[in-house]
A and B are shown apart, each in its own frame.
Chain A
Amino acid sequence: MADTSMLVRHPLETRRTLLAELSAELDGVALELEAPLAAVDLRLDPAGPGPAAVAEVAGGPLPPQPDTWTGLAAGQALRLGPDEWLLTSAAARPEDWEFGLDEAAAPFGGAAVDVSAQRTTVRVRGASARPLLASGCAIDLRPASFPRGRCAQTLLGQAGVLLVALADDDLQLFVRPSFAGYVVDWLVDAAQEFRRPS
């Protein structure tokens, strides 16, 4: 009988083992699923006192430049556009995360909407992480152009992703759960190039 317990599972849970086994056979690439996070989509006027007010609740300053991210107390603040951020938390419950941030943003004409289940995360690590992603992503991924602290909404293969640079050899991919199966299939296919010679 199907499991009826209200546990949060990664949408790609059934592929976790496959990714671990594959990563063990790869040279310089490790693919891993990340635990689900609470997340809100914050729309807010970047000028004025709004961002500072939200920062207090969020647990860290909001990144001042689009396509960059900053660390929060238990998550990240990723600036998606001039007036849009994704704020994540590994500690908060989604409904609390939304409520608190929305309350902080509303007086400044902003809004925070719970999108915790709207994206899922895959971690790509290793010296070959960027070459792997460069086989399906058109943006300039050279470490000098896309260093730690940068993020970008772009395409991997044909799926929209939010790509986040944690380090030269450590990147995060936020992807819509409906596209996650495609993205992982794509990564597994592209990763064949990086298999250790048998």
Chain B
Amino acid sequence: MSRIEGYGRIDRSRHVTVTVDGAAYTGHPGDSLASVLLAHDARPANTGVKLGRPRGIGASWTEDPTGLVQVEEPFPEPMLLATTVEATDGLVARGVNGQGRLSEVPDLARYDRLHTHCDVLVIGAGPAGLVAARTAARRGDDVVLVDDRPTAGGTLTGTETIDGRPSLDVVDEIVAELTTSPNVTHLQRTTAFGHYDDGFVLALERRTSHTDDGGLARRSRQRVHRIRAARIVVAAGAIERPIVLEDNDRPGIMLAASARDFLHRYGVLAGREVVVFTSDDAAYAAAVDLHDAGASVQVLDARATAPTLWSRRCADRGIAVTANTHVHGTRGEDRITAALVGPERREVACDLLLTSGGWNPTAHLFSHVGGRLAYDPSLGAFRPAAPRPGVEVIGAADGTFGLADILRQAGGVGAPPANEEPRDPTAVLWRTDGDPTRQFVDIQRDATVADIARAVGAGMTSVEHVKRYTTIGTAHDQGKTSGVIASGITAELLGRPVEDLGTTTFRPPYTPVAFAALAGRERGDLFDPVRTTPIHDRHVAAGAEFEDVGQWKRARHYPHPGENMTDAVLRECAAVRTSVGIMDASTLGKIDVRGPDAAVLLDRLYTNMMSSLKVGRVRYGVMCGNDGMVFDDGTVLRLADDRFLVTTTTGNAAAVLDWMEEWLQTEWPELRVRLTSVTEQWSIFAVAGPRSRDVVGAVFADLDVSNEAFGFMTWHDTALDGVPVRLARISFSGELAFEVSVSAWYAPAVWARLLEAGRDHGITPYGTETMHVLRAEKGYPIIGQDTDGTVSPHDLGMAWAVSKKKPDFVGRRSFGRPQNQDPLRKQLVSLLPTDAATKLPEGSQIVRFADDGRLPAPPVPMLGHVTSSYHSAALDRPFALALVKGGRERIGEVVGVPVAGELVPALIGETVLVDPEGARRDG
């Protein structure tokens, strides 16, 4: 056991048991998985990804490049750092050999997000962040303080003195004050992982990972905070930099400050025979503290002279300090057994080698928003170069390392004081002499100095290229310890100053974030909104199968027991063609167009003339984009001289309104027109079939529904029990048909009345699939199915819907392009497979027919493709619509459609296959 009495902030009165690689270990609340293992002189059974060498725990927090584990219980998660996993009872994990494994069981935990707005966001609850947060809170600002570790205090160990008291007492006091401030939100276990424009920061809160979570199972496991702050204070500290040396990947090699952190935070001594190799003062604190905790320690300082004050402190304790000395390599198998010291590579026995090459300010969140970093030779590190509006970087993140300086920077004159500690300058030492093939720069990626040399040898001079060539900095830790070193070594190899090379760009996320957390609630049923019509429940009760149309659920067909879709659709089609059917068309987009210039606007947006439409009448209209290609279609009802109701396709409702508003607001603001979406105000039911007049006439008894009084493409208003209802003779099936519109409030009742009135006629609810077949039999295209944005009205055989009288309308100029005159443009035609049996798959290519029924050797010229294909009850055979090059000229021609390796012959025909004379529409 390496647990040291009197150290650490763990709760020794309680125990937790974790299992790692099959062995059980006892720890305490407050432990990390890594500290439990180190307390037992154990490590996860990890090996390197490429070379298979054993790997241990190299740091105490998110910068650890090696200590990855696969957590199995309580929930499988791949590749978490043992240093960041809190030890809870029953936790099961194992080492990772190269890569982790995604869970095979569903994640039943909840994840969510929270939007927060504040005046000041402080990132980091170390001494700098705490003082900055307190200062802002006392000023009355709304403050959010986030910190990624379980407790506040940052790297304070408790050995420091602030304001004449133990540092952690001061931390507790500030935290208590923040807790009682109503204008402060203080979140620990919360990592700010991305910083975006305009003061926007994403932070991940781990809310249940440290608890057994008995009564709070409904609490979200992780929460993404979306924080919008007027001012951001980055007080994220600094990350210690190792010194690269030969065989520096062995278990038992660690950052100096991490060993100190393990001691003071968890009461764990990471080794008994310790060699500290440093070019910076801070490692001496680790040497002294580990010595005081019972380790045998010696210090090797790469600098020409050791710092005076620290040398004296070491001498007082009998810690040997040797200046001007390098460690060149290590020995050991499963763990380090010796450091190789000096040019003669003298073996110095040890079970822990600590290295410290200085500190890299954690300026990631400054860099995310484009903050520039510059090399500071006095630190041997990159730090924020120029301020950015609304962002402050303070403390170690700004390259300020003395505690007294940090507190002053954070709190100004009101900051609590601390003793001034002299600091000798850090010596920049990226690596020592040794075999570059075994000098690991990115230990997780098994990437070495030799790999950088290979990249440079291949001609790369940019650190971004070197990163991608070597993969340095691309692992879970995103190069927290390796990135700057890679820049330094690249600079050395190129013989250029490191300030010229810079560092690779920091990008979010700062630490890995689970996709589940980013998804939040947007999974399962809430993945995408499901839109339903006012009578959705009726469709469900009637056994409907639904299809997604945009976000809408539309009834596709209503199978009877034992029916498949083909059976149901044939039955529904037959009902409409022989008696009466009813469909919920409420999803159609509806726009109320008002004003003295309403007709002018519609004339400019539809290809056909709308101003000539008489009040009381209905016209089909086509809308094109600027490119002259069909964008949408629908019906236009003229309600009054200055009022129209236009319908759009279901999927384009919002797009058409936007389109109309855009023209109105940006191009023709002089037009006096008001547009209002009434899509959900009005429910529409299509009642179609030869008996539809009987049904509608029975429900709306006071309305004359005869053909003479109520002609095709006209509308009439009536009322039902005092509720206004509008009926229109509009047919998308070719049959006699009425569209019944009523306020959605009354949709269920009107639907029920129509069904009741039609019962004696066998009224049949039909779905969108049936509607598609019925309209295809009539050659009516569906925008978006038979068109793809490259189809003009002329291609659809709808030249009749393109006005020749109007001076201009959107799309008109494009009709004159030579491309639009090309006789070989694809045109809409029907296709009848000559075997009268094959239903051609939609999307099938169409080629010239070959007598042998085989697809010729490539290249095979494509003539077109199938856009719609169905079985027809009326024709008692399958049929299709297709876009075919020069299709109208080919009517009567047999072409080939490859289906399952065979070339199926199909006859090109006119688009209207049922009732071409239109005899049925008036009943």
Contact = CB atoms under 8 A, between A and B. Distances in A.
Contacts of B751: 2
Contact of A140 (B117, B678, B746): B117
A68 to B, nearest CB: 19
B220 interface: yes
Interface string B560-604: 000000000000000000000000000100001011000000000
A142 B142 contact: yes
Contact of B529 (A118, A157, A192): A157
Nearest to B525: A185
Contacts of B112: 135, 190, 193
A2 B752 contact: yes
A19 to B, nearest CB: 17
The B interface is mostly helix, strand or loop, or mixed, namely mixed
A61 B614 CA distance: 38
Interface string A128-142: 000100111111111
Interface stretch (A51-59, A69-77, A162-170, A171-179): A171-179
Contacts of A109: 595, 672
Given A43-B676, A115-B676, A179-B531, A189 B745 contact: no
Contacts of A110: 674
A130 B745 CA distance: 30
A94 B753 CA distance: 22
Nearest to A137: B115
B9 interface: no
Given A159-B529, A177-B534, A41 B676 contact: yes
A2 B752 CA distance: 6
B892 interface: no
A138 B226 contact: yes
Contacts of B720: 6
Interface stretch (B15-23, B211-219, B484-492, B728-736): B211-219
A135 B114 contact: yes
A192 B534 contact: no
A138 B641 CA distance: 43
A3 to B, nearest CB: 7
Q: B218, B219, B538, B595: which has the most chain A beta carbons within 10 Å?
A: B218
B522 interface: yes
Contacts of A115: 676, 678, 681
Interface residues of A, number: 55
B552 interface: yes
Contact of A113 (B534, B678, B745): B678
B755 A2 contact: yes
A109 B594 CA distance: 10
Interface string B637-681: 000000000000000000000000000000000001011111111
A6 B756 CA distance: 14
Contacts of A2: 538, 748, 751-752, 755-756
B115 A178 contact: no
A103 interface: no
Given A111-B674, A114-B681, A116-B745, A193 B228 contact: no
Given A111-B595, A157-B529, A158-B528, A177 B680 contact: yes
A111 B745 contact: no
A110 B596 CA distance: 11
Nearest to B536: A181
A49 interface: no
A1 B724 CA distance: 24
B836 to A, nearest CB: 41
Given A94-B743, A134-B115, A178 B533 contact: yes
B680 A181 contact: no
Given A3-B752, A111-B595, A185 B526 contact: yes
A4 B531 contact: no
B744 interface: yes
A46 interface: no
B108 interface: no
A179 B680 CA distance: 10
Contact of B681 (A7, A117, A186): A117
Contacts of B722: 6
A177 B915 CA distance: 39
Q: B215, B522, B677, B680: which has the most chain A beta carbons within 10 Å?
A: B680
A4 B220 CA distance: 44
A178 B522 CA distance: 18
Given A2-B752, A135-B115, A145-B117, A178 B676 contact: no
B724 A8 contact: no
Nearest to B537: A14
B210 interface: no
Contacts of A131: 114
Nearest to A7: B749
Contact of B531 (A7, A114, A182): A182
Nearest to B228: A140
Nearest to B587: A178
Interface in A97-122: 109-111, 113-119
B677 to A, nearest CB: 7
Interface of A: 1-9, 11, 14, 36, 41, 43, 94-95, 109-111, 113-119, 131, 134-142, 145, 157-159, 176-179, 181-182, 185-186, 189-190, 192-193, 195, 197-198
25 contacts: A4-B752, A6-B720, A6-B721, A36-B745, A41-B676, A43-B674, A94-B743, A113-B594, A113-B678, A115-B681, A116-B743, A116-B745, A118-B744, A134-B114, A134-B116, A136-B113, A136-B115, A138-B115, A139-B115, A140-B228, A177-B534, A178-B532, A181-B530, A193-B219, A197-B216
3 A-B pairs with least C-beta separation: A117-B744, A178-B531, A2-B752
Given A179-B529, A181-B536, 20 more contacts: A8-B746, A9-B745, A11-B744, A36-B745, A113-B594, A114-B681, A115-B676, A118-B677, A118-B744, A134-B116, A138-B115, A138-B228, A141-B115, A145-B117, A177-B534, A177-B744, A182-B526, A182-B529, A182-B531, A193-B218
